[in-house]
Amino acid sequence: MKQSSAGTTLGISIGMPIMTSIGNDYGWRTEFIGLGAFIIVIALISFFALPSIPGEKLTKSSSPFALLKIPEVLIVLLLTLLGVIAHYGVYVYITSLVDEIQLAGGVESALLFFGIGSLISVLLAIKYTDKYLRLLTIAMFGLLIISMVIFLMFGRTTGMGHFAFFLWGLSFGPLVTLLQAAVSRQVETAKDVATSVQSSVFNLSIMIASSAAGLLLGIYSPMSLIYLAIALSIPGMIISFFAKKSLS
């Protein structure tokens, strides 16, 4: 579960800098053609290499509605909502942030440092999630707050903006792994259903983040997204600290 969840983050952290570089150097059409070809290759590998296994039977006790009656599951879903909106509210408009702080090297440099941080934290999450789930979740929100504060106070200072992107990547990397591990621990059976519900909330949160951030950018500067991330991360860190049962 941890390795497969980490694949999502690795795909974003490694894929985004590569595709951004291709788009900047060869144009968006080349980027889209390359991405389409890569997706076809993945589809073919999946068709021939992945085994066909039966899904989990849906019962009254394993339905999504039954899972939503479990308080610990609801807490994990709330943390998902807070964490994803906080991260993606800034991430989907990362170019605007880069332009605002006038980062040397532009968005490619930002994504490179962000990706390095994400890669390191994914590897750490794979190794330590089982033992330190709650501590890592608290640290995830804490690092996000620290990185956003650095953007606010020192973003235009030489090297500090890059360091902030690195710290942000460290926070972003374990997001999927930690929250899916947390929700799967709350059920003895129906783990597939539980992680599916969590994934649905994850994707819904990205949509909310994109919409809310777009509205803020239409009125305020890109730094308003930083305040949004901090405002959501503080309750996320507090809830994680007290959610001993949900993150045990």
pLDDT in tens, 158-177: 899 999 999 999 999 899 88
Does residue 7 carry a pLDDT above 70? no
CATH of domain 2-242: 1.20.1250.20
- Which whole number is the average pLDDT over 189-210? 89
pLDDT, residue 234, reads 97
The reported pTM is 0.85
135-159 pLDDT, tens digit per residue, is 999 999 999 999 999 999 999 998 9
Side-chain-facing half-sphere of 136: CA atoms under 13 Å? 26
Question: What does the domain layout of the chain look like in residue ranges?
Answer: 2-242
Report yes or no: 203 and 79 within 8 Å, Cβ to Cβ: no
- Which whole number is the average pLDDT over 71-99? 94
Quick one: pLDDT band at residue 214, thresholds 50, 70, 90? very high
pLDDT, residue 2, reads 47
SS (H, E, C) the chain: CHHHHHHHHHHHHHHHHHHHHHHHHHCHHHHHHHHHHHHHHHHHHHHHHCCCCCCCCCCCCCCHHHHCCCHHHHHHHHHHHHHHHHHHHHHCCHHHHHHHHCCCCHHHHHHHHHHHHHHHHHHHHHHHHHHHHHHHHHHHHHHHHHHHHHHHHHCCCCCHHHHHHHHHHHHHCCHHHHHHHHHHCCCCCCHHHHHHHHHHHHHHHHHHHHHHHHHHHHHCCCHHHHHHHHHHHHHHHHHHHHCCCCCC
11-65 pLDDT, tens digit per residue, is 666 776 777 778 777 887 888 898 899 889 989 998 888 887 776 666 666 778 8
% of the chain surpassing 90 pLDDT: 54
110-135 pLDDT, tens digit per residue, is 988 998 999 899 889 888 998 999 99
pLDDT, residue 75, reads 95
pLDDT, residue 3, reads 47
